[in-house]
């Protein structure tokens, strides 16, 4: 379930692209230097995102990358799922459908399954535009309880 550097760097890189002037191309080396990321590693990550049509890449000396759509249309869950795969909190999924290796599900299966859903819902509500605008904190606050009088 751990979010690796690949997922974090993908979000950082796309945030850099979202900050760029509209329709301007950003070079890998620019992102790599600003974010202290290996340009070779970043290139692998951006290739995954390009192949998934989240970004557009242009080759050549004046080339670079840009978002394929506006920042408000790119959710963090989209980015993470492309480079990391779906975030799963449970490690008990086998091809046979058994968590225990014998039969049935383990006692904590529903707990970890629900946590996976919460992670997906949380990341699915935050766009690149939200990150740029600083609209992330407070989204995981517990619901307010109304007092009955």
Per-residue pLDDT tens for 22-38? Answer: 778 999 999 999 999 99
Spatial contact of 23 and 1, defined as CB atoms under 8 Å apart:
no
CB atoms within 10 A of CB 69: 12
Q: What share of the chain is helix, strand, coil (3-state, %, to 5)?
A: 45, 5, 45
Model confidence, pTM: 0.81
Question: Can you give the residue ranges of every domain in the chain?
Answer: 5-133
Is the domain spanning 5-133 CATH 1.10.10.10? The answer is yes
Mapped onto helix, strand or coil, the DSSP state of residue 119 is: helix
How much is the pLDDT for 90?
Answer: 66
What is the rounded distance in angstroms from the CA atom of residue 111 to the CA atom of residue 128?
A: 29
Decide if pLDDT at 96 tops 60: no
Mean pLDDT of 49-66: 92
* Number of separate helices (H) and strands (E) present in the chain: 6, 2
Distances (CA, A) of 99 to 1, 95, 107, 111, 116: 16, 9, 9, 13, 16
Full DSSP string of 29-41 = HHHHHHHT--HHH
Decide if pLDDT at 41 tops 90: yes
């Amino acid at each position: 379930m751990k979010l690796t550097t690949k997922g974090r760097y993908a979000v950082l890189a796309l945030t850099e692209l979202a900050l760029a002037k509209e329709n301007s191309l950003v070079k890998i080396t620019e992102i790599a230097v600003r974010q202290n990321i290996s340009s070779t590693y970043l290139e692998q990550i951006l290739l995954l995102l390009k192949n998934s049509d989240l970004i557009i890449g242009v080759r050549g000396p004046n080339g670079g990358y840009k978002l394929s759509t506006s920042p408000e249309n790119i959710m963090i869950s989209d980015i993470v799922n492309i480079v990391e795969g779906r975030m799963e909190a449970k490690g008990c999924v086998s091809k046979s459908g058994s968590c225990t290796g014998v039969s049935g599900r383990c006692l904590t299966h529903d707990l970890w399954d629900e946590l996976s859903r919460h992670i997906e819902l949380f990341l699915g509500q935050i766009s690149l535009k939200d990150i740029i605008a600083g609209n992330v904190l407070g989204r995981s606050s517990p619901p307010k309880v109304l007092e009955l009088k």
